[in-house]
């Protein structure tokens, strides 16, 4: 849902900014690299210290680079396989930094091995969810399914919860419990999404194999 509607909205909003960067001579690849570096800094510097509010502010400033670089490439007419590969690869790096930073907090001063494990599961399941689609497409399947919790949902749920949880340091009582709840939601949602994609790939693969077998049988009969 977020991929379909929110991405279109923010793409329109960020188009003038993307055009400005083009006029300044900034390349889409540079935006991708800077954006990923900013997300990693926000997550790995602030989150392990429990500074969830400021870490989320920094991450949010850079996370929209994922939309800006693609917008720039389209305006320049330079959409390329390399750009798509770089963008997708660094998205995984940024996601790993966010959940890795949270895992470091819970493994240390956050003092909760259970939540550390849940966070690591969020990290791993998110990577596997992305891999299932990429692997399915690489063997010629459309992987035509909208999962319950995909990358956009994982990021929004996690970052919003982190930002609000950080308000605990400003005296807002009880708000820190929002983050553990959000991590459990992301973990369960990611598991459901993984199952959805695996089931879809299995069905599409069976259909593709049946079509191929039928074509082979017709070829043998005509021979």
Asked if 220 is an active-site residue, the reply is no
Binding region for a CDP-1,2-diacyl-sn-glycerol: 29-32, 70, 74, 80
Contact present, 136 and 204 (Cβ < 8 Å): yes
- Please enumerate in sequence order all residues whose Cβ is within 8 A of that of 54, keeping only pairs 6 or more positions apart, or say none: 46, 166
How is residue 62 written in tokens? 């850079």
Structure tokens at 149: 């919790």
d(CA 99, CA 96) in angstroms, rounded, equals 5
Contact of 47 with 183, CB cutoff 8 Å: no
Task: Tokens for 201, please give them.
Answer: 């790939």
Distance of alpha carbon 131 from alpha carbon 145, whole angstroms: 14
Rounded to 5 degrees, φ, ψ at 122 are -60, -45
Rounded distance between C-alpha atoms, residue 128 and residue 68, angstroms: 25
Whole-angstrom CA distances from 143 to 9, 15, 213 are 25, 30, 20
- Between CA 207 and CA 219, with CA 213 as vertex, the angle to 5 degrees is 140
- Catalytic machinery residues: 91
């Amino acid at each position: 849902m977020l991929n379909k509607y929110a991405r279109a909205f923010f793409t329109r909003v960020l188009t003038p900014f993307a055009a400005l960067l083009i006029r300044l001579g900034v390349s889409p690849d540079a935006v991708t690299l800077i954006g990923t570096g900013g997300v990693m800094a926000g997550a790995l510097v602030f989150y392990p210290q429990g500074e969830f509010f400021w870490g989320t502010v920094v991450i949010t400033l850079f996370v929209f680079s994922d939309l800006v670089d693609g917008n720039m490439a389209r305006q320049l007419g330079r959409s390329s396989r390399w750009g798509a590969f770089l963008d997708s690869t660094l998205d995984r790096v940024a996601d790993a930094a966010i959940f890795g930073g949270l895992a470091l907090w819970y493994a240390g001063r956050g003092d909760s091995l259970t939540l550390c494990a849940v966070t690591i599961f969020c990290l791993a399941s998110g990577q596997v969810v992305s891999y299932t689609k990429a692997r399915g497409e690489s063997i010629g399947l459309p992987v035509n399914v909208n999962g319950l919790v995909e990358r956009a949902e994982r990021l929004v749920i996690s970052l919003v919860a982190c930002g609000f949880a950080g308000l605990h340091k400003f005296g807002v009582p009880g708000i820190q419990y929002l983050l553990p709840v959000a991590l459990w939601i992301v973990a369960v949602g990611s598991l459901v999404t993984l199952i959805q994609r695996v089931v879809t790939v299995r069905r599409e693969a069976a259909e593709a194999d049946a079509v191929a077998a039928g074509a082979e049988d017709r070829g043998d009969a005509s021979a």
